[in-house]
Structure 1
Amino acid sequence: MASIFGHGLVAFTTSKIIDYKSSKLLLFLAIGSAILPDIDVLAFKFGIPYAHPLGHRGFTHSILFALIWCILLSLLFGKTRKWVFAIVMFLSILSHGILDAMTSGGKGVGFFIPFENSRYFFPFRAIRVSPIGFEQFFSEWGIRVIVSELKYIGLPCFIVLIMVFIIKKRSMSKKKV
C-alpha cells in the first residue's frame, strides 16, 4: 500500500481540482476517506486471510465500496452541492485502490469485489509498498517509501496544484476585466 501521506495528498489534490475553494469539512472527509480503505488491516487481527474478499486490499478497496461510501457521506454532509461533494468523495476513496495497484508489493487490489474476487495491479508499479505497522514505518524501509512517494505522488500532485492555482488566478483576473 502507499502510505497514509500519499493517499491523503492525492485526496487533497483531487478536492482542489474539483472544488478549488474546498471547505475544511470537504478536505477533512476527502483525506479521511482516502485513508479509510486500510481499515481492512484489522482483518488480520480476526484471522481473515489477505486473499479473502474482506482481507487486505479487498472490499474496502473496491469500486462498490467507494460508491457506497461517497453516497453515504454526500447524504450526511453534502448540504448544498451534493454532486460536487459526491465526486470528490468517490475519487478520493477510489484513488486509494489506484495507488495501491501501483505499488511494488502485496497481492493486488480487489477493484470488483463482491462481483469478482480477482486482485489487480497496474503495469506501472514504481511506488514502494509501505510497511503495515507504525514502528516499521520509521525504518530504512519507511524512508524508501517516503522518497518513492515524493517522486511518484508528491511531485505530480504539486505540479497539478500549481497548475490549478495558475488557472484559477487567470480566470479570476479575467472576471475583473
Structure 2
Amino acid sequence: MDSITHTLFGVGIYKSINKDKMSKKEKFALLFTAIGASQIPDIDVISQLWDTMGQYQMWHRGITHSVFLIPIWALLFYLIHRFIFRIKGMQSFFVALISVFIHDTSDLFNSWGTGYLEPFSSVRITFGTIPIVDFIIWLIFLLSFIASKIYPKVKPYSIFRIGWALVVLHIVVQSIQGYLMYEQYKKTYQEVALSASFIPWHYTIVGKNDHAVDIINDSLITEADMVERLQSSSEKDLHTLFAMNPRAKTLYKWAPFVVVVDDDKRIGIYDPRFYRNGESFLFEYIDKSTLK
C-alpha cells in the first residue's frame, strides 16, 4: 500500500484503543508507536542510496516486510517506549506488533507483492486484488473520523473499530472477486497475473500463452474488454542484457513474467502488469547502439 494508507492504518489503530485512563504523554507515545510501526517496514527505501548492482527491486518490500521480522520491529518500539518515553508495560509491543503485521500483510494484496517469507523464500507473494492506492479504505477512515465528530456521545474507539470491520469486509469481498477472476482466466492462459483497478471490483488480467501476452479489463459484473495483445520475443537470449543492465536481471526474477522487447533500437524486458498507454514504468533495457 502507499504511505498515506499505511499512515491511516496507524491512526486507525490508535483511534481504536480505549485511552480514557491514559495521560497525554502515554497517548502521544502510543500514537508515535502506532504510526511509526505502520511505516517502519518501508525503511528499506534507503537501500537506493547504496544500490550499485540493480538490486533495489528485490530489496524494496523484501526482508523488512518479512513476517519473521514482525516481532523484532515490535521489540524496537517497545524499547523506545520503555527507555525514551519512560513508559512501562507491554501495550506498546502489542500495538507495534499489530501495526507491522497489518503493513506487511496488506502489501500482499496488491500487485507489487512482498518478500513475506524471507529469508527462507525469495518468492514475491502477490495477490493483486487490492490497488496500491485504495480510495475505499481512505473513504472508510474519513467517514469514521467524521462520525466521531458528529456523534460525540459515542466513544471514538467504538466508531473506528466499526471502520476497521468495514475495511476488512472490503478487502475480503474485493479479494474473493479477484480470486474468481483469476481462476476463470487460468483455464485460458498458461500464466496469469492480476492487478486490481482503482475502480472497486474491477481488475486488469494479464494472461500469457507462449509469445502472446493479453491485457484485459474485466469484472464479475461487466463484459471483458481486451485492451491490447503484446508480442514477446521470448526466445531472445538475455545474457547480454543482464550483464549490461543488472536491474533487468532483478526485474526478471521479481516479476511473475515479463514481455521481452527486441526491436531495431532496444533489447529489454518489462512487467506487463504495469503497462499503461503503450509502455510499462517497470521497463529495463539497453540500446543496441551500445553493442556496436
Structure number with higher strand proportion: 2
1:8: Cα distance to partner? 0.8
Which residue number in structure 1 is paired with residue 138 of structure 2? 154
* Partners of 2:135 and 2:155 in 1: CA distance: 19
1:105-144 map, 5 Å: 105-106=111-112, 108-122=113-127, 125-127=129-131, 129=132
Change (3 A) 1:64 1:160: farther
Amino acid in the other structure paired with 2:55: P
Q: Is the 8 A contact 1:11 1:30 kept in 2?
A: yes
Residue by residue, what CA displacement relative to the aligned partner does 1:115-163 show, whole Å, maximum 9, x if unpaired?
222221236x232x3xxxxxxxxxxxxxxx4xxx331x22333566658
1:15 maps to 2:22 = no
Q: How many residues align?
A: 140
Residue by residue, what CA displacement relative to the aligned partner does 1:57-98 show, whole Å, maximum 9, x if unpaired?
10111122221011122133142331x211110111222222
1:101 to 87, 105, 108: 108
1:23: Cα distance to partner? 0.8
1:80 to 79, 83, 88: 88
Amino acid in the other structure paired with 2:156: F
Q: What's the TM-score, normalizing by structure 2?
A: 0.42
**Structure 2: which 5+ runs fail to align?**
20-25, 149-153, 160-292
1:39 maps to 2:43 = yes
1:164: Cα distance to partner? 6.2
Change (3 A) 1:164 1:60: farther
Amino acid in the other structure paired with 1:150: F
1:65 maps to 2:69 = yes
**Structure 1: which 5+ runs fail to align?**
130-144, 169-177
Amino acid in the other structure paired with 2:9: V
Secondary structure in 1 matching 2:101 = helix
Which residue number in structure 2 is paired with residue 165 of structure 1? 156
Secondary structure in 1 matching 2:138 = helix
* Partners of 2:8 and 2:95 in 1: CA distance: 13
Change (3 A) 1:61 1:160: farther
1:51: Cα distance to partner? 5.3
- What's the % identity of the aligned pairs? 28
Amino acid in the other structure paired with 2:101: L
Based on CA coordinates, which of the two structures has the bigger radius of gyration?
Answer: 2
Amino acid in the other structure paired with 2:89: R
2:98 to 91, 103, 106: 91
Moved over 4 A (4+): 158-164
* Partners of 2:108 and 2:32 in 1: CA distance: 24
Which structure exhibits the higher relative contact order, with contacts defined as CA atoms closer than 8 Å and separated by 6 or more residues?
1
Secondary structure in 2 matching 1:29 = helix
Which residue number in structure 2 is paired with residue 49 of structure 1? 55
Superposition RMSD in Å:
2.7
Structure number with higher helix proportion: 1
* Partners of 1:14 and 1:165 in 2: CA distance: 11
